[in-house]
């Protein structure tokens, strides 16, 4: 089995991922070829290094300047600004589609609608309430290290959906006019490295004081449950499904950390 190491192509794909998943004006520096956008999922966790790092720094140092709940709110706001609420929009559409759609086509139509519905509003309220509560329940140091680990890890796990089922729409009808390609062996290794490396400082810092096996396993269980739901209802994924998977897996990570820390 051959493993291709085309480093020039990889940095183009990584750059495309930063452009695709953030609102940073990096296109002013370089615009990668269109094919690179089909591989952005392979460098999704790398974007998590950026967003997670920025969030962790904001929360940790912000807690030295502001009351801790305000620092947490500023941290959440920062990610919304960095990503343009891309994944949150996907979560809202996911909730609307799966909450209000009775069949496959209706779910797809609802998710493509730019208007937000009742299920989407409720979904975002519950999501942000749980996210805020989970982070506030942790100390600034633990919350910062958890964010650094959870963001790339959730993106790595959510990215597996492109291997597990086909895209539910055609490329022409996709919101971003992009259909992600299947992940090769070499890309899978790089993806795993991006998603797992930030777990090292998290595990090293807390060691036996925290049940890290639960923290790894339960978010993966969330991924599997959502996979079954998406496959049963759609027989394929969409970009909105990817965004929802990412946020819900990450949220599970935070809730598990908060729970095991509380019990400990």
Burial of 163 (0-12, 13-18, 19+ CB in 10 A): exposed
Average pLDDT over residues 146-159: 97
pTM above 0.75, yes or no: yes
Greater pLDDT, 264 or 241: 241
Arithmetic mean of pLDDT over the chain: 92
Rounded average pLDDT over 189-212:
86
For residue 56, what pLDDT is reported?
98
In a domain, 2, yes or no: no
Q: pLDDT confidence of 225, banded at 50, 70, 90?
A: very high
Provide the pLDDT confidence category of residue 191 given band limits of 50, 70 and 90: very high
Question: Has residue 1 been placed in a domain?
Answer: no
Q: Does 206 score more than 80 pLDDT?
A: no
Q: What are the CA-CA distances from residue 149 to residues 97, 109, 113, 256 (Å)?
A: 30, 35, 33, 13
The pLDDT of residue 262: 72
pLDDT value at residue 179: 87
Q: Decide if pLDDT at 2 tops 70.
A: no
Using one digit for the tens of pLDDT, what is the confidence trace for 109-140?
999 988 999 999 999 999 999 999 999 999 99
Q: Is residue 129 part of a domain?
A: yes
How much is the average pLDDT of 89-100? 96
Answer whether residue 226 is part of any domain. Answer: yes
At 237 the three-state DSSP class reads strand
Q: What is the pLDDT of residue 169?
A: 85
Helix (H, G, I), strand (E, B) or coil at 167: strand
For residue 243 the two structure tokens come to: 């965004």
Query: What are the strands, taking DSSP E only, across the chain?
Result: none
Q: What's the whole-number mean pLDDT along residues 204-228?
A: 87
Q: Which range marks the domain in which residue 223 is found?
A: 7-23+33-263
How many domains does the structure of the chain reveal? 1
Pairwise CA distance, residues 148 & 170, whole Å? 35
* Whether the predicted pLDDT of 15 surpasses 80: yes
Q: Is residue 53 helix, strand or coil?
A: helix
Residue 98 in any domain: the answer is yes
Per-residue confidence (pLDDT) for residue 10, from 0 to 100: 85
The string of DSSP letters for 121-148 reads HHHHHHHHHHHHHHHHTS-HHHHHHHHH
Output DSSP code: residue 66. Answer: S
| Sequence-distant (≥ 6) Cβ neighbours of residue 233 within 8 angstroms | 98, 101, 104, 107
In this prediction, residue 4 has a pLDDT band, given cuts at 50, 70 and 90, of very low
Q: What's the rounded Cα separation, in Å, for the pair 118 and 120?
A: 5
Name residue 237's beta-bridge partners: 167
pLDDT, one tens digit per residue, over 53-91 is: 999 999 999 999 999 999 999 999 999 999 999 999 999
């Amino acid at each position: 089995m051959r493993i291709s190491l085309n480093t020039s192509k990889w940095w183009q794909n990584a750059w495309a991922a930063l452009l695709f998943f953030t609102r940073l004006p990096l296109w002013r520096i370089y615009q990668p070829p269109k094919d690179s956008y089909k591989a952005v999922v392979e460098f999704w966790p790398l974007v998590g290094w950026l967003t997670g790092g920025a969030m962790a720094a904001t929360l940790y140092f912000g807690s030295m300047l502001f009351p801790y709940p305000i620092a947490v709110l500023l941290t959440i706001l920062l990610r919304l600004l960095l990503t343009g609420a891309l994944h949150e929009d996907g979560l809202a559409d996911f909730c609307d589609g799966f909450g209000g759609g009775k069949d496959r086509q209706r779910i797809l139509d609802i998710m493509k609608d730019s208007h937000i519905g009742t299920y989407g509003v409720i979904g975002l309220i519950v999501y942000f309430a749980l996210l805020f509560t989970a982070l506030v329940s942790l100390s600034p140091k633990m919350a910062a290290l958890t964010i650094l680990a959870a963001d790339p890890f959730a993106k790595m796990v959510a990215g597996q959906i492109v291997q597990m089922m086909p895209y539910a729409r055609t490329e022409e009808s996709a919101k971003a006019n992009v259909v992600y390609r299947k992940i090769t062996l070499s890309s899978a290794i790089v993806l795993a490295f991006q998603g797992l490396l930030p777990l090292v400082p998290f595990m090293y810092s807390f060691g036996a004081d925290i049940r890290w096996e639960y923290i790894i396993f339960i978010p993966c269980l969330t991924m599997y449950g959502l996979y079954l739901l998406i496959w049963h209802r759609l027989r394929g994924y969409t970009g909105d499904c990817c965004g929802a998977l990412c946020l819900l897996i990450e949220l599970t990570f935070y809730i598990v950390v908060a729970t095991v820390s509380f019990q400990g």
